[in-house]
């Protein structure tokens, strides 16, 4: 399905993830790597709205998504990259597709947590929402140097209202679109976790 020409970046992201989650909830066992990769690459539009301090987060996220898109020429599904790395004992190896999938999943979860915080802290700052989200989702997996750099970058985040206007949303529409992404991404994140768990791979890395 083609996304509306007048869709906002956020509604395009929500739409793409709703399509993915419908596939999963319809009982589809195999998620195509190319479909997943294109949905994940839409997310990078949001980085531009967060300001220059998150340029390095963007480079990090985009590199990993591009690795998965590149891998889709060789591997059809998310399962098959896991199976291949399990066979070669390279699941946790730096740069492996399975490791990069794990990182991209972290990015999707971070955005989900940020949106959730954004919605529950209506009078709070974006910095506080992002700090809470990052602390819960990513910080446990990041070393001290990265946590410190992210903490410094938080001061350069835009205000809530700046973010809403950069996203081309209104106070009302932003809530609707964030909620759509939260609801759609949750089953996808769970689906990815299950790929590891069902292969006896722990998620503590």
Residue ranges binding ligand 1PZ (CB under 6 A): 43, 46-47, 50, 54, 57, 60-61, 94, 99, 103, 106-107, 110-111, 114, 130, 133-134, 138, 141-142, 146, 150
Task: Tell me the H-state helices in 143-170.
Answer: 144-153, 160-166
Q: What is the nearest approach in angstroms of ligand 1PZ to the Cβ of residue 130?
A: 4
Residue with tokens 């985040």: 157
CB closer to ligand 1PZ out of 61 and 75: 61
**Helices 97-120 and 126-137, packing angle to 10 deg:** 140
Q: Would you say 30 or 203 has its CB closer to ligand 1PZ?
A: 203
Tell me the closest approach of the beta carbon of residue 20 to ligand 1PZ, in angstroms: 17
Count how many Cα atoms sit within 13 Å of the Cα of residue 102 in the half-sphere of its side chain. 22
Using DSSP's 3-state secondary structure scheme, residue 32 falls into: strand
Q: Kindly tell me which of 8 and 76 has the beta carbon lying closer to ligand 1PZ.
A: 8
Two tokens at 21?
A: 């989650």
Nearer to ligand 1PZ, 76 or 183 (CB): 183
Shortest Cβ 134–ligand 1PZ spacing (Å):
5
Contact 19, 180 (CB under 8 A): no
């Amino acid at each position: 399905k083609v996304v509306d020409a007048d869709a906002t970046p956020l509604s395009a992201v929500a739409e793409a993830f709703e399509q993915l989650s419908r596939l999963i909830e319809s009982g589809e066992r195999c998620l195509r790597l190319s479909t997943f990769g294109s949905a994940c690459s839409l997310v990078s539009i949001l980085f531009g709205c967060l300001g220059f301090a998150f340029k390095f987060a963007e480079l990090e996220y985009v590199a990993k998504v591009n690795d998965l898109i590149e891998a889709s020429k060789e591997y059809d599904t998310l399962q098959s990259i896991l199976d291949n790395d399990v066979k070669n004992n390279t699941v946790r190896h730096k740069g492996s597709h399975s490791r990069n999938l794990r990182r991209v999943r972290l990015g999707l979860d971070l955005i989900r947590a940020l949106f959730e915080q954004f919605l529950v802290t209506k009078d709070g700052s974006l910095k506080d929402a992002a700090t809470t989200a990052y602390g819960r989702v990513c910080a446990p997996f990041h070393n001290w140097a990265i946590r410190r750099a992210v903490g410094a970058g938080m001061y350069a985040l835009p205000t809530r209202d700046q973010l809403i206007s950069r996203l081309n949303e209104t106070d009302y529409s932003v809530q609707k679109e964030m909620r759509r992404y939260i609801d759609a991404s949750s089953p996808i994140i769970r689906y990815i976790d299950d790929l590891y768990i069902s292969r006896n791979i722990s998620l503590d890395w």
